[in-house]
Amino acid sequence: MRALLSTVICAALGWFLAEKADIRHLERSSIYFNSVNLLLAIGLYGCAYSINLDQILKRDWSVIFRAVTIGVFFKILIISSITFIVTRCFFADRYPLDECLGLSIVVAPIVAQIDPLSVAALTKDNSLSNSVKGILSAWSSFDDPVTVIASYYIASWIVNNVTGIFEDSTFNISLITDVFEDSTFNIFSIILDFGKNFLFASIFYLWHRLLLLLWRKFDDTTSQSSINFKKIITILKILTFLIVIALATKYRLMLGVAIIGLFAFPKFDFSYKFIYISVIISFYIATVMIGFFLVDGVNIYMGILVSLSAITAQFIIAFLMTIGYEYSLEDKIRLAFAQQNGLTAIVLALFFEPLLKGTISVIVPAILLINLIYIIVNKVIIKRYLEVEV
């Protein structure tokens, strides 16, 4: 509830500042996309950094495979399909076919992911069984980076295919072309992009392994020189974090930054606090930026449709994810209502807004409703009526 209130307050602050200072068309600023990429890189690194990789890898690999495939791509497809079908059936007079298809494609990846930081808080609940904690941890861990990468490829596909599929007025291609000026959407470009990301991640992975070896070398000693040396390593880790974020922002290496965050060592010094604070600050900045776009109002009806599409998709995916496993009624309900959106969804809305104007006006009420339903079900209904001793 506290996170939801802070989101509303920050968005309201952004709206107030935009209204009083007459801030319009923020997406046309030359630094807009760099700012969005920066926030996205920090969020991805922070979420990946908070993952306990050793515990995740001990899980059943079929769960991880389902999380990356069914939990991400199939979920995006379900949300997009429901949004498109319902919009065409009930809002065809407001949204022509091109706009309906464009909106369905854009909003799906934004709300598809489950916020890993929220899941981390949820898994501390003792009423949740260990098996469900395992599925949610694996799911949310790989959900965020894979969804972001999918979003980049979706945007690249739109830029490269818009003239053949959509009307020119559907997407604001001129605002986003510079971001993808060197990109083409084909198998070779995708392989090349993955190669760049893995090379980027490999270099910094080796660097982090070196820092880990040095840390362990002085970890067992309590001499002043050892303490000072570990402080130096902590400073190097913070500098490495800043360099990784800068390179990922400039060259759009989001998969690489997620991998680096996943393998970064050690995860128990001051650098952890520094990264965590960076993520929190990024969340507030992104939410205030969202508020700048609310001066033109929000699309309540489409927001409700998108939120219900995401929750419905979560129902379906939760069922598919648990095939072959035996769970209690409470566990099944927990998984079915595990849909939450956080920093990644907010930043992805900022990312897609220049491409499809009005994206934020739909996503803001959708995020609020998704998180509100999550709180009502998990914090009120389950706690009061379905909670059992574990």
Q: Residues near 247 by Cβ (< 8 Å), separated by ≥ 6?
A: 200, 253
Show the tokens assigned to 73: 């791509």
Show the tokens assigned to 168: 């020119």
Q: What pTM, to 2 d.p., does this model score?
A: 0.87
* pLDDT for residue 121: 62
Residue 115's nearest CA partner among 78, 140, 152, 142 is 140
d(CA 91, CA 94): 5
Q: Residue ranges of the domains in the chain?
A: 2-23+33-386
Show the tokens assigned to 194: 């993955």
Interval 330-377: pLDDT, tens? 777 878 888 888 888 999 999 999 888 889 999 999 999 999 998 888
Distances (CA, A) of 347 to 97, 99, 156, 235, 267: 27, 22, 17, 28, 25
Phi, psi of 341 (to 5 degrees): -125, 145
Residue 238's nearest CA partner among 210, 203, 264, 206 is 264
DSSP of 84-121? HHHHHHHSTTTS-HHHHHHHHHHHHHHHHS--HHHHHH
Cβ contact 320:66 at 8 Å: yes
* pLDDT for residue 36: 92
* pLDDT for residue 390: 38
Q: Which residues in the chain show pLDDT less than 70?
A: 1, 51-61, 63-64, 116-129, 131, 134, 138, 141, 160-186, 219-222, 265-269, 385-390
- Other beta carbons within 10 angstroms of residue 22's beta carbon come to 7
Choices 1.10.3470, 1.20.120, 1.10.287, 1.20.1530: CATH for 2-23+33-386 = 1.20.1530
* pLDDT for residue 65: 75
- Other beta carbons within 10 angstroms of residue 247's beta carbon come to 18
In the DSSP assignment, the letter for residue 31 is: T
3-state secondary structure of 199: helix
DSSP of 311-372? HHHHHHHHHHHTTT----HHHHHHHHT-----HHHHHHHHHHTTTSTTHHHHHHHHHHHHHH
Interval 235-272: pLDDT, tens? 888 899 999 999 999 888 888 888 888 777 655 567 77
